[in-house]
Amino acid sequence: MKSLSSRTEKIAPSLTVAIDTLAKTLIANGKDIVSLGAGEPDFPTPEHIRRYAQQVIDAGKTRYTAPVGILEVREAVCRKLKRENGLDYKPNQIIMTSGAKHAVYNCFLALLNEGDEVIIPAPYWVTYPELVKLVSGIPIFVESTAENKFKISDQDLEKSITPKTKCVVLNNPCNPTGTVYSKGELEALAKVIRKHDLFCISDEVYEHFVYEDTFTSVAAIEGMYERTLIVNGLSKSHCMTGWRIGYVAASEPIALMIGKVQSQTTHHPSNIAQYGALAALDGPFECVIEMKKAFQERRDYMFNRLQKIPGVSVRLPEGAFYLFPTVSALFGKHTPEGVLIDSSSSFCKYLLEFHGLAIVPGIAFGNENCVRFSYAANMDTLQKACDRFEAGVKALL
Ligand SMILES: Cc1ncc(COP(=O)(O)O)c(C=O)c1O
């Protein structure tokens, strides 16, 4: 038989999805597992969104839509961008996608030629480098550290730019670190991006979960609007993960490119999900505020528990719903069963096998020293997770 696609073979499957799937399988097989692996809000999709989608189905709005999405929905995205981000977009600059992950993929397809370099601050969301590779681009990582609040500086960015650099990916607030860039910090990065005439993909899916500061979109920084591709979606803000609905907001030529790609690939995201997005974007905002309050309480609880555990160092994240503690002080220790802990993966494997706790090794996000907890789970689950983590760490000391 002939060989399969070497380009596709090069990419790794998502480790966060793999861990969540493994935890679910273990639970289905009767194992007592607490899983904080998935970045998925535990709340139901708000009722007004569910009801509206049901009405839409009953009204027979179940046909193909335009590849870029339903005009009414794209108008709602424009209203949202104006209301919440102070940005002026026209509907022909908006493309509805099958989730934000798909939006990121579309952006890379629109921007990259073979060998183009994409700068990705590390730690990063698992998907960015793999999608860059899938479209024959080259991911270039810019490291950040816990000491610097996992932020890259304008100098860090400048040093990583080559003649082949095409774009920079900013994920603000960041998964997995919870880091939020301030307006001033974005201005400094934007200056470098403009100087080198780069594009910027700004993944803003966690924009509503900022606890200490206010959120600024990099597209709102002077000179950035034309070169920024905003990626956003309803999965996180409105608990619509399974609906698979997101969008890109970009300049008209880029939006045209993405529309063309979509017309030949998915055609368009689900009609029903688009109407769900309409109800979410134009509907009451209280549900988002309530959820943010709950996440903040959970973050504070988790932070207070984790920071008391010896061998673990954790910073208070300003946004998203993840904690990314450093656990490398535990490397070199042995489990009571005699297994050496020498990496974030061996540590997480040990926690899953011997303490029934599923969390994600930092290496999945390009940082071997840390592990990622999602705190998008109820307090009971978080309490159990902290108990198990603490017991697991103490058994190593
Ligand atoms: C930073 C980031 N961007 C995009 C996504 C994808 O979201 P969606 O469910 O809309 O595809 C995720 C999901 O975990 C994420 O963490």
Q: And the tokens for 336?
A: 């009571």
Q: Is 106 in the pocket of ligand 1 (CB under 6 A)?
A: no
pLDDT at 321: 98
Q: What is the pLDDT of residue 15?
A: 81
Apex CA 29: angle with CA 24 and CA 31, to 5°? 80
pLDDT digits (tens, 9 = 90+) for 186-245: 999 999 999 999 999 999 999 999 998 899 999 999 999 999 999 999 999 999 999 999
The pLDDT score that the predictor gives to residue 21 is 84
Higher pLDDT, 7 or 179: 179
pLDDT digits (tens, 9 = 90+) for 232-264: 999 999 999 999 999 999 999 999 999 999 999
So what's the pLDDT on residue 242? 97
Most ligand 1 atoms within 8 A of CB, residue of 235, 244, 247 to mutate: 235
Q: What does DSSP assign to residue 239? A: T
- For the entire predicted model, the pTM comes to 0.96
Quote the Cα angle for 377-382-388, to 5°: 135
Average pLDDT of the chain is: 96
Q: How confident is the model at residue 18 (pLDDT cuts 50, 70, 90)?
A: confident
Map out the domains of the chain with their CATH numbers.
Answer: 6-44+287-394 (3.90.1150.10), 61-282 (3.40.640.10)
The helix (run of H) or strand (run of E) holding residue 157 is helix 154-159
Question: Which whole number is the average pLDDT over 165-173?
Answer: 98
The answer to whether the CB of 232 is under 6 A from ligand 1 is: no
Torsion, CA 194, CA 195, CA 200, CA 206, rounded to 10: -70
The span from the CA of 51 to the CA of 67, in Å, is: 25
Q: What is the 3-state secondary structure (H, E, C) of 311-372?
A: CCECCCCCECCEECCECHHHCCCECCCCCECCCHHHHHHHHHHHHCEECEEHHHHCCCCEEE
Q: How confident is the model at residue 164 (pLDDT cuts 50, 70, 90)?
A: very high
Q: How confident is the model at residue 55 (pLDDT cuts 50, 70, 90)?
A: very high
pLDDT of 326: 98
Which is it for the CA torsion 262, 263, 266, 269, positive or negative? positive
Burial class (CB in 10 A: 0-12, 13-18, 19+), 61: middle
Return d(Cα 251, Cα 95) in angstroms, integer: 11
pLDDT digits (tens, 9 = 90+) for 368-392: 999 999 999 999 999 999 999 999 9
The predicted pLDDT at position 329 comes to 98
CB 99 less than 6 A from any atom of ligand 1: yes
Look at residue 110 in the predicted model and tell me its pLDDT: 97
Average pLDDT over residues 323-332: 98
Contact 116, 108 (CB under 8 A): no
Q: Confirm or reject: Cβ of 287 under 6 Å from ligand 1.
A: no
Query: What average pLDDT score do residues 61-84 get?
Result: 97
Closest ligand 1 atom to residue 234 Cα is 10
Distance 323 CA to ligand 1 centre (A): 16
pLDDT at residue 389, as a whole number? 98
Query: Could you give the CA distance from residue 291 to residue 295 in angstroms, rounded to a whole number?
Result: 6
Judge if the beta carbon of residue 100 lies within 6 A of ligand 1: yes
Q: Is residue 22's pLDDT more than 90?
A: no
Cα 45 to Cα 272: distance, rounded to the nearest angstrom: 14
